[in-house]
Every structure is written in structure tokens, then in C-alpha cells.
Structure 1
Amino acid sequence: MRLLQRPIEHGELTLAVAVNGDLADSRTPPVLLVHGMGSDHSTWRPFASALRRAGRAVIAVDLRGHGRSGRPGDYALETFAADLGFVLDGLEVERVDVVGHSLGAHAALRMAMNDPGRIRSLVLEEVPPMPRDQADLDEDIVMSAGFGERVRGIGALMRNPMPVVRFHRAVGTQVGAEFERADPQWWGRLTEVSARTLVISGGSRSFLPPPHLQALAQALPDGRFDVIDAGHSVHRDRRREFTSMAGTFLVQ
């Protein structure tokens, strides 16, 4: 792991990053992998291995409040996106493909809004969109994993408990509060994303309704939508299908 020190208000933030492959290879950009809430970079190991076999350099980050990264106490959604940009700056990487899951996908999408030229291709697995209006808020679609979703996560927790042990619970509180406010301007900014984007839904087994993710894909200038009926953690529970779908998209 590489530890990058990011200056922030009242100190420094440590960001832990795993790098595999030659980041200076000019043939294809590296792939940045961004995990979801309560996880860390290790969730991507099987997918990262497949990317490396295909000759891609891989960067996998621990988000603030997760894994070996620091716990600054500030977990506003925009801070996660800014951290991703800082990591790329620190590694001297100008352009990337990005694959993100859940909170990580949301952070990647915000980075694509803020710095469109930096991302070539974007895979968003189960990305939670901001609520558009009161109707979206009334659905209570975000941060509300059901019983089945929790049961499917028990096996992963038993195999690797460290991501949960290292997770700072304040992340969930602050992120959840942001998703409790409608943000129609966020939807308007989707037109600023220049990356070709694949939105992957976990289907009817997920707590994120597929129509919301499809609407997000349709709002993007170059977005497409697909479903793997696996629940919220598609890359974990339907590994082969996810690797095939995401991997094929990244080489198109």
C-alpha cells in the first residue's frame, strides 16, 4: 500500500492506495477502483486480478473513513470526489478509467462532473442517485438495505472482517444525511459528464430501484444501462457476470 498525505483543514489526511502495474503505460489508462461504504480496496481483488491479466494497471483506493485511510471526521460527498482527484495527482496520473461501487460510484460520478476530461470510461455499479424531489425522498430508497442484502453480506464479513472493523461509523451518518435532501441541481450536472458510462443495476434484489438507475443512465450524454440480478453487491455476488460486463465495456 502507498500512503499519500493530503493537506486538509486542521492537519493532514492519509489516503491508502494499492497500485499494481505500470501507471506510465501509454497504451491504455490505468483503472481506478473505488469501493462502497463499509468496504475497502480488498473487495476488488478478483476483478483487479482479471484487469491485470488483461494488461491493465490498477489503482485501488481506501476512501476516507475506510480501510487504512484516515478518519478526518468530514465525510461530505464532495470530499470523497476531491480525494480521488488528489490520489491521481499524487500518482501523476492524468487520465483513467474508473469502476466504482455504491458510495464509490457516487464519488466517481462527482469527480466526472467536476473534472470531465480526467475520466475516459466509467462503470457505476449500484450508484445511489441524489433524490430529485419529495417523491424520491418519500420512497426512502437510499441507505436502507433489506434483510436479504444483510444476509448476503454475512459470508463476506466472515471471510474478511477487517473492512468493517476499520470503518468509521460517522461516514454512514453524514452520507445518509446528505441523501435525505433533494438535490435537483445534481441531476442537471449529469450533462457535464463526458465519459462513456455504464450503469449496472443489481435488479429487483437491490434496495436501489432499477428505474432510478436507468433514469440516471439516460440523463448522461453517453450513458448505457444494464442489469445483473444480484442485489446491491454485484461484483461480489455475481463475480463472473460483472467481470465480463464491466471488462468488455472498458475495452470497447
Structure 2
Amino acid sequence: MKLHYQSIGQGEPLVILHGLFGSSDNWRSIASALSEKRQVISVDLRNHGRSFHHPQQTFELMAEDLLNLQDELELSTIDLMGHSLGGKTAMQFAQTFADRLGRLIVVDIAPRQYPDEHSIIFKALLALDLSKFSSRTEASEALVDTLPDPMVRQFLLLNMQKADQGFSWRINLQALFCSYPGLLQSVEPDGPVETPTLFISGEKSDYVTDKDWQHIKTLYPQAEHVMIDGAGHWVHAEKPDIFIQQVNRYLADD
């Protein structure tokens, strides 16, 4: 059971982990820009993208998946960046395999437990009979009443792939839905994590609050926090130039 990944550039390795419903494809432009100075490895988490499907999905298992990939690529240490679900996975990796990690970048997520904001999405997607659609546009129209934001629908429907008849899901939607309650849980460490860490958040996002940051500083004593003005949860997509600048600055800082 190997993770699918995309690698670009040469130099010190930076691994990127996407968020829920995402894939390595979502990070291509960011990875390309960052690859000017290092090797960038964008990963599909289990049950996402082109990686393997499995009925179980926990942060511990995803951290082990990443360790197995690191061993496969013969990388003694990596820098690691994760967004949202990928950010929590990255924090779990830092706690469990600290000796295999250089620096950590966590994008718009805190280690705390979060409320359920995605069950409505899961149920809407599971209710679709993809075999009846001839295009993503048709599927998008069927979701308008439940998911009115066109950008959200466009992002989610990137997970549709051509099938013998109509479309099918590339992601393991049912397994993700069953695992979702566990993915909302905290990944707070038992003790301080000494890995140098950068937390990047969006000014308009409520995923990392002032209260979160005060708590994060006790858990990650070497952490730095950068808030990007005008950005929401998808900070890397909304303000890519500033995001890339901040990541390059942090990784270049010895």
C-alpha cells in the first residue's frame, strides 16, 4: 500500500500534504514555485487522489504511511508542510517521528478538536448517482441546493473520474465518511514538540484563532505564526505569492 506522489525539483526535500477531499494536484502551482530551490514532493493521502483505498483512516496511520514513503524514497529527514487535514497529519508525524523531520509548516489548522462542518458535504456527495451524469457541470447543478458555493462544488467535483458509464469517485468517499469523526479529533501532543514550526493562517479564517495560537505556543515552543491578510482557509490558493514568499523565507532561515 504505497502513497501516490508527484516530485519536482532538486535539493532538500519538502513534502506537502493536502487537506480533506484534496489531492497533490491541488498543489501543482505552489510546488512548481517552491521547486526552484528544493525538491518538492506532493503526496496523495490514503483514500485521496491516486493513492490506495483502505477502510481505516486515522492520523496515526497517515503518519505511518508518510514514514513508509520517506523510507521508500531513502530520505533520512524531510521538511514537511500540511494544510488542514494534512496539517494535522503533519503535526502527528512531528510527534511520532521527530527524528525524521527537519522543519514543520502547518497551514491554517490548529491541533485542537474541530466541530463537524463536512457531514453535509459527505451526504450530498454520497447521494449523487454519478453514473447518470455526462459532465461535471451536470453534477454541479445537482448539488446547487445543498452546496450553493460554486467554488466549493468545483473543488469537490475534481474527485470525479470517467467510468465505463458516466463517472465514479476517485476518492474513497464511504471510508472517509466513516472515518470523519476521528479526523475531527485533537492531535495535541503529550508534551512540547521541539521541532521548528511555522504556522500560517488566513486573516479571514476561523480555523486558527488568537486563543488557538496562545495554546499552540505552549505545545510548540519553537513555533512562529504568520497571518496572511485577506486570506481565508485556502490561504495558499487565495494569496499564493505571499504564501510562497513566507514558505521560502522560513525554509531559508538557518
Question: Structure 2 length normalisation: TM-score?
Answer: 0.75
Q: Does the 8 Å CA contact 2:59/2:183 hold for their aligned counterparts?
A: no
Instruction: Please say which of residues 76-85 and 13-22 is displaced more in the overlay.
Output: 13-22
Q: How many angstroms does 1:189 deviate by?
A: 2.8
Given candidates 54, 57, 81, the residue that maps to 1:75 is 57
Q: Does the 8 Å CA contact 1:217/1:224 hold for their aligned counterparts?
A: no
Which residue matches 1:178? 182
User: Map of 1:46-85 to 2, 5 A cutoff?
Assistant: 46-54=29-37, 56-85=38-67
Unpaired stretches in structure 2, ≥5 consecutive residues:
122-145, 162-167
Which residue matches 1:111? 93
- CA separation of 1:66 and 1:58: change in aligned 2, threshold 3 A: same
Which residue matches 1:226? 226
Which residue matches 2:20? 37
Q: How many angstroms does 1:213 deviate by?
A: 3.8
Q: Distance in 2 between matches of 1:239 and 1:148?
A: 25
Which residue matches 1:17? 5
Q: How many angstroms does 1:221 deviate by?
A: 2.2
Q: Distance in 2 between matches of 1:249 and 1:124?
A: 12
Q: What SS does the aligned partner of 1:189 have?
A: coil
Instruction: Please say which of residues 226-235 and 146-155 is displaced more in the overlay.
Output: 146-155
Q: How many angstroms does 1:216 deviate by?
A: 4.6
Q: How many angstroms does 1:235 deviate by?
A: 0.7
Paired amino acid for 1:94: S
Q: Distance in 2 between matches of 1:201 and 1:49?
A: 21
Q: Distance in 2 between matches of 1:230 and 1:149?
A: 20
Q: How many angstroms does 1:43 deviate by?
A: 1.3
Instruction: Please say which of residues 218-227 and 34-43 is displaced more in the overlay.
Output: 218-227
- CA separation of 1:30 and 1:172: change in aligned 2, threshold 3 A: same
Which residue matches 2:246? 245
Paired amino acid for 2:182: E
Q: How many angstroms does 1:151 deviate by?
A: 4.8
Which residue matches 2:75? 93
Q: Larger C-alpha radius of gyration, 1 or 2? A: 2
Q: Distance in 1 between matches of 2:191 and 2:117?
A: 19
Instruction: Please say which of residues 168-177 and 72-81 is displaced more in the overlay.
Output: 168-177
Q: What SS does the aligned partner of 2:190 have?
A: helix
Which residue matches 2:190? 189
Q: Distance in 2 between matches of 1:236 and 1:210?
A: 20
Q: Distance in 2 between matches of 1:145 and 1:96?
A: 36
- CA separation of 1:156 and 1:141: change in aligned 2, threshold 3 A: closer
Q: How many angstroms does 1:78 deviate by?
A: 1.1
Which residue matches 1:3? none
Q: Does the 8 Å CA contact 2:56/2:179 hold for their aligned counterparts?
A: no
Q: Distance in 2 between matches of 1:149 and 1:32?
A: 33
* Percent of matched pairs sharing the same residue: 27
Question: Structure 1 length normalisation: TM-score?
Answer: 0.76
- CA separation of 1:39 and 1:212: change in aligned 2, threshold 3 A: farther
Q: What SS does the aligned partner of 1:68 have?
A: coil
Q: How many angstroms does 1:187 deviate by?
A: 2.8
Unpaired stretches in structure 1, ≥5 consecutive residues:
1-12, 132-136
Number of residue pairs matched by the alignment: 221
Paired amino acid for 2:203: G
Q: Distance in 2 between matches of 1:105 and 1:118?
A: 17
CA-atom RMSD in angstroms: 2.9
Which residue matches 1:208? 207
Q: Distance in 2 between matches of 1:100 and 1:180?
A: 16
- 1:177-197 CA-to-partner distances (Å, cap 9, x unmatched) read 12565x5xx434351x23210
Q: Distance in 2 between matches of 1:221 and 1:70?
A: 35
- CA separation of 1:237 and 1:87: change in aligned 2, threshold 3 A: same
